Amino acid sequence: MTELSDAIEIIKRRISDAEHRFGRPPGSVALLAVSKMRSSQEIRALAGQGQRHFGENYLQEARPKIDSLADLGLIWHFIGKVQSNKTEAIAQHFDWVHTLEKEKIATRLNDQRPAPLLPLNVCIQVNISGEASKSGIPPEEVLTLAETVVRYPRLRLRGLMTLPAPSMSFEQQCLPFRRLAQVFAELQGRAFPVDTLSMGTSDDFEAAIAEGATLVRLGTSIFGPRHQGPIIPNEFRNAY
């Protein structure tokens, strides 16, 4: 796993360099390692390098990983689309959800979050580029959903998330992130206790840092090219 160790150290240096280059405080940008289609062994190796936060898109794939790595005390982020029939398991086994876009889903996550656990950290997903194929709500609907989420005792609104349309130009990459940062600032201006801007992937995270990201979601830049499909042991394939 030497390659993983080298890759994450390179990424950490790039994040630190971007913080310095764009006037961000040192350590102000957290790294979420996107571990979908990656094995438990790879995740364990990264945890040995000090990485604590991991993001998963598929519940069926994530559950056996979460179970097999429970001894490490990792922090698990759900970053895929939340389906109504999966909310109970997500509420029980994850620490964060980045992809909240419906009041109905917020209600289910709140009601199904076990009382012994801390409130579930949630980010509202914003379709900042207005793509018909992308999940998320328009920027103008964020305030209404935020007002709903903060009333739920088993949820904790942490901020906003986006996955904008890809662009090769650094300036073009910056534009949607800048817009999301404006929406985020509007929430803060209305005294919402938000502290997280989840934006930036392997292709554009430096532009996201330039515009105020507090958490970047990186997969291929750490792990390399993905496997062909989700890693789901046979006994889990039809379980969730």
Instruction: Identify the structural domains of the chain with CATH numbers, from first to last.
Output: 2-223 (3.20.20.10)
* Residue 239 confidence (pLDDT): 35
Looking at residue 111, the DSSP 8-state letter turns out to be H
Burial class for 235, CB neighbours closer than 10 Å (0-12, 13-18, 19+) = exposed
Q: Is 120 in a helix, a strand, or coil?
A: strand
119 DSSP 8-state letter? P
User: b/e map of 176-198 (b: 16 or more CB within 10 Å)?
Assistant: bbbbbbebbeebeeeebebebbb
For residue 234, pLDDT over 70 is answered with no
Average pLDDT of 106-110? Answer: 98
Pick the closest to residue 12 from 159, 218, 174, 167 (CA basis): 218
**Residue linked to tokens 């890759």:** 7
Would you call 50 helix, strand, or coil by DSSP? coil
pLDDT tens for 44-63 read 999 999 999 999 999 999 99
List the structure tokens of 85: 């029939």
Q: What is the pTM of this model?
A: 0.93
Q: What is the pLDDT of residues 173-215, one digit of tens each?
A: 999 999 999 999 999 999 999 999 999 999 999 999 999 999 9
The Cα–Cα gap between 72 and 48 comes to: 9
User: Which of 1-5's residues contact partners 24+ apart within 8 Å by CB, and which partners?
Assistant: 1/41, 1/42, 1/45, 3/224, 4/42, 4/45, 4/46, 4/49, 4/222, 4/223, 5/45, 5/49
Q: Which one, of 69, 71, 96, lies nearest residue 82 by Cα?
A: 96
Distance CA 208, CA 174 (A): 6
> Using one digit for the tens of pLDDT, what is the confidence trace for 124-134?
999 998 887 78
The pLDDT, as a whole number, for residue 229 is 57
Model confidence pLDDT, tens digit, residues 68-103: 999 999 999 999 999 999 999 999 999 999 999 999
pLDDT tens digits, 17-32: 999 999 999 999 999 9
